Amino acid sequence: MVVGQKYTFGSGAWTTTDKKTVSVAGKTGIATAKKAGAATITNTDSDITKTYAITVHSPALSTKKTTLNVGDTAEISISDTGSMPVTWTSSNNAVFTVAASSDNKEAAVITAIGTGSAKLTAYVGGKKYSSTVVVKAASSGLVKSDIYLNAGQTITLKHAGVTSKNLTGWTIEDESGIVTLINADKPAVMIKTSAVTGTDLPRDITLNCVTTAGTLTTILHLEDPALTIDTSDKTTSEYGKLAQPKAVALNYTLKLKAGDTYSISQPDVSQKVIWTSSASSKAFADEYGTITARAAGKSTLTAKINNKTVKIVVTVTE
């Protein structure tokens, strides 16, 4: 049992060897785990004495708060589960997703998806244990030689070890005007890109952080992921036919039968498309954009690449 958990052993005349660890209602046999430890409860209301040795565990998460940048992963563990199964959930898959660790049954791997704050919850013995996960934009405090950006995206970059005392300034080697530097005389520079398309992309731009100790060079790879969905007819049936939204704000729709798959073309860029599902038990998409219909119901699939998002509402029938 875990602290706070209750279990009904049945009516009788019950006693406990340690009521501070496990209390038990004498007539109903409802046992309540009070604190970590061990106790024995006994039912003497019959010719056959029933005795149960109970160990109480007090699970605890390894951290109360985790802060990540978008795209980062982290392993969170829970201790003292007594080998009881652990179920992990995220309160918002758009902020982070969670999956049980393949190496440690008392741990889970969280993946930062988008900026925001959400709750990580582990369920053990019917009780829940939660911590906060905060996801920030991937930017400050990192030294990167290559950064991939969407056209129109703005980020902030700060190289580790660069301060106002040793910084000379930030410069870019590009005359197109696509990239603008804000606060180029500060350790944390804001990089603002224009929403260009077509022949202007892809484009590589050199960003220099000039310091008294030398120059740190970063290549900005400016791309247009073009997260647009091909809605050309792939079938004459109502199933497997992707519908075009009537407005930009609306989702795409797709109807599949349980067991069907549907492939979404991925943009030909270096950045990774992250897929999430609102109900993976109904339908989900893998990292390659292949949608699999599992069971009857609805699931909203979200494809995200940096600051671009596309959603597909999948309806699955048997």
| pLDDT tens digits, one per residue of 161-198 | 888 999 999 999 987 888 999 999 999 889 888 877 66
Q: What span, in angstroms and rounded, lies between the C-alpha atoms of 252 and 148?
A: 27
**Residue 126 and residue 65 share a domain:** yes
Q: Which of 146, 143, 145, 159 is nearest to 211 (CA)?
A: 159
In a domain, 151, yes or no: yes
**Residue 70 and residue 127 share a domain:** yes
Q: Which two tokens stand for residue 254?
A: 């797709």
Q: What span, in angstroms and rounded, lies between the C-alpha atoms of 267 and 288?
A: 10
In a domain, 295, yes or no: yes
In a domain, 20, yes or no: yes
Q: What span, in angstroms and rounded, lies between the C-alpha atoms of 120 and 297?
A: 25
**Residue 52 and residue 66 share a domain:** no
Q: Give the residue from 85, 118, 136 where a domain finishes.
A: 136
Residue scoring higher pLDDT (114 or 77): 77
pLDDT value of position 185:
94
Q: Where is average pLDDT lowest: 45-49, 79-83, 291-295, 304-308? A: 304-308
Q: What span, in angstroms and rounded, lies between the C-alpha atoms of 96 and 73?
A: 9
The mean pLDDT of 4-9, rounded to a whole number, is 89
Name the band, by pLDDT with cuts 50, 70 and 90, for residue 78.
Answer: very high
E strands in 91-173: 96-100, 107-112, 116-124, 127-136, 146-150, 154-157, 167-173
The range of the structural domain enclosing residue 25 comes to 6-56
Q: Where is average pLDDT lowest: 181-185, 216-220, 221-225? A: 221-225
Q: Give the residue from 180, 206, 223 where a domain finishes.
A: 223
In a domain, 234, yes or no: no
Residue 200: strand, helix, or coil:
helix
pLDDT value of position 12:
85
pLDDT in tens, 13-43: 899 999 999 999 988 889 999 999 999 999 9
**Residue 205 and residue 171 share a domain:** yes
Mean pLDDT in the chain? 83
**Residue 217 and residue 169 share a domain:** yes
The mean pLDDT of 233-243, rounded to a whole number, is 53
Residue 198: strand, helix, or coil:
helix
Any idea what DSSP says for residue 234?
A: S
**Residue 219 and residue 153 share a domain:** yes
Q: Which of 129, 94, 128 is nearest to 111 (CA)?
A: 94
pLDDT at 63 over 90: yes
The mean pLDDT of 225-245, rounded to a whole number, is 55
Name the band, by pLDDT with cuts 50, 70 and 90, for residue 76.
Answer: very high
**Residue 70 and residue 49 share a domain:** no
CATH number, position 150: 2.60.40.10
**Residue 152 and residue 211 share a domain:** yes
**Residue 20 Ramachandran class (φ > 0 left, ψ -120 to 50 alpha, else beta):** alpha
Name the band, by pLDDT with cuts 50, 70 and 90, for residue 235.
Answer: very low
Q: Give the residue from 56, 79, 95 where a domain finishes.
A: 56
In a domain, 247, yes or no: no
Contacts with 165 (C-beta within 8 Å, 6 or more apart), sequence order: none
- Structural domains counted in the chain: 4
The CB-side HSE value for 95 (13 A sphere, CA atoms) comes to 18
Name the band, by pLDDT with cuts 50, 70 and 90, for residue 236.
Answer: very low
**Residue 91 and residue 40 share a domain:** no
Q: What span, in angstroms and rounded, lies between the C-alpha atoms of 223 and 269?
A: 7
